[in-house]
Amino acid sequence: MSALMRLGQLWAALRAKVTPAERALVQQLLASHEYPLFERMPLYDQRHCLDVYTTLVTAGEQDAELLRLALYHDTGKVDRQGRPVSLIWYGIAVVWKQLAPRFYAWAAQKPRWWCRSIYRYAHHGPLGADLAAEAGCSATIVATIRHYHDDAPTGLAARLRWADDQH
């Protein structure tokens, strides 16, 4: 992803909004056990998830589970105490991943106190899958969230990854 696209993502995150109509749509689409997974995310991640959902809908996606999980696929970026990966740590992760991949990989290995956010950023798929499982989501949803950042995702995970990569 180019630096210009990354700057565009930062600008969009800083200006992120979710309209009342969009929030009502999310409440309508998600089951009562799924909605808290959307709500726990910061506004910039909620906006991103809505954009991924819209990309899937526009592409003609009709799988109801995939469309729902698109709305909370990044829930793992928020820790169990409700602390999200901040935009500053997003930026650090992106820069390290691009310019110092070995250091990024080392920092992402375990949740060290000084870079817990890098660990969370790097492992948000499996962390989010655990949260989805605990919330009572289907095995299909849990597996899709767990694997959409794999090197070669398949099935629903590949379709989610495609839409996620558009944003």
The domains of the chain are located at: 3-165
Average pLDDT of span 136-147: 97
Q: pTM for the whole thing?
A: 0.89
> CB within 8 A of 85, min separation 6: which ones?
77, 78, 93, 117, 120, 121, 124
Position 23 pLDDT exceeds 80: yes
Average pLDDT of span 2-15: 64
